[in-house]
Amino acid sequence: MQQDIDPSAPILLFDSGVGGLSVLAELRKLLPDAPVIYAADNAGRPYGTKTEAQVAARVAGLLGRMAERYHPRLVCIACNTASTIALGMVREVLEVPIVGTVPAIKPAAAMTKSGVIGLLGTEATIRQTYVDRLEHEFARDKKLLRQAAPELVEAAEAKLRGEAVDPPVYEAGAQGLRAQPGGENIDTVVLACTHFALVEEELAKAFGPGVAFVHGAKGIARRIAHLTEGQDFARKAPDVALFTKNEAIAGTLAPALAGYGLEQIEFL
Ligand code: DGL
């Protein structure tokens, strides 16, 4: 089967916005020659405040259209909200391998010394039964405190547009976790939204010393490399950043996108 794959067939990474770039950065280290389409559903962002039905419908519909247009060899849903809600559904409808992004509760449970883990995600992610299952499976003997931090999604977007973000924005999520019973003992924080990995430095300042952060980007990149092992990669055209809404990207996000090797901007 492997030899049938066109070497220029891309890996498609999908998120509501720039969050999945945290996954792309790790993927580049492992597969520098892989052609990439980075898709951001800027028309639908934020996902975290939407209902399960809204997110599932958008993600399945958009990925179907993108798969038809770009014929990816693999799709990565580089978004915790979309993955915890719609991974199963998307796997039903697309015929390519799909890699999802789910909160890194398992590694966090292995890392914590205090036994208290904080989890920062979107409102939609923290209420998913998928997260309950991960907690039950890997952190049953730990305390997992969950906190929605929707403001960090836009903070990461603003950071990549080169705009200044006020430190209190980063402090809100930290304070929300610390204020919960047992929160003062948190020593490990799961960044359960791909956007949050882009502002890890700012979050580290907000939490103060003694807190380690964990997210799935490296593991996801390894999974993609594993699933495409033995395949040839040949980039025939510049890698594409694909948006679902035609808005000014050129003067704002384009420099950051170019920093991730996405030289070409397209709209769905
Ligand atoms: N980056 C997404 C995640 O990993 C969600 C951001 C949003 O709310 O759109 O959950």
Q: Identify the pLDDT of residue 229.
A: 96
Amino acid (1-letter code) at residue 204? A
188-191: strand order across its sheet: 143-148, 116-121, 188-191, 212-214
pLDDT digits (tens, 9 = 90+) for 94-125: 999 999 999 999 999 999 999 999 999 999 99
122 Cα–ligand 1 center, Å: 6
Write the residue with the smallest CA distance to atom 9 of ligand 1: 46
Residues with beta carbon inside 6 Å of ligand 1? 15-17, 19, 45-48, 79-81, 122, 125, 153, 193-195
Q: How many Cβ atoms are within 10 Å of 29's Cβ, its own excluded? A: 10
Question: Which residue's alpha carbon is at the smallest distance from atom 2 of ligand 1?
Answer: 79
Top mutation candidate among 42, 58, 79 for ligand 1, by most atoms within 8 Å of CB: 79
Q: How far apart are CA 249 and CA 16, in angstroms?
A: 15
Residue 41 near residue 15, CB atoms below 8 Å: yes
Ligand 1 centroid vs 19 CA: distance in angstroms?
7
Rounded to the nearest whole angstrom, what is the distance from the C-alpha of residue 180 to the centroid of ligand 1?
Answer: 23
* Ligand 1 centre distance from Cα of residue 188 (Å): 20
Going along the chain from its start, the domains and CATH numbers come out as 2-101+218-267 (3.40.50.1860), 105-215 (3.40.50.1860)
* Ramachandran sector of residue 202 (left: φ over 0; alpha: ψ -120 to 50; beta: rest): alpha
Question: For 52, what's the count of Cα atoms within 13 Å in the CB-facing half-sphere?
Answer: 12
Q: For 144, how many CA atoms within 13 A lie in the half-sphere containing its CB?
A: 28
Mutate to test the pocket of ligand 1, among 157, 159, 193, 244 (most ligand atoms within 8 A of CB): 193
Summarize pLDDT for 128-167 with one digit per residue, the tens: 999 999 999 999 999 999 999 999 999 999 999 999 999 8
The answer, yes or no, to whether the previous bond of 209 is cis (omega within 30 of 0) is: no
Query: End-to-end CA distance of the chain, in Å?
Result: 30
Euclidean distance between CA atoms 55 and 49, whole angstroms: 9
> What is the reported pTM?
0.95
pLDDT tens-digit profile of 171-212?
999 999 999 999 999 999 999 999 999 999 999 999 999 999
CA 100 to chain centre: 9
Question: Would the pLDDT of 1 be above 50?
Answer: no
How many percent of the chain have pLDDT more than 70?
99
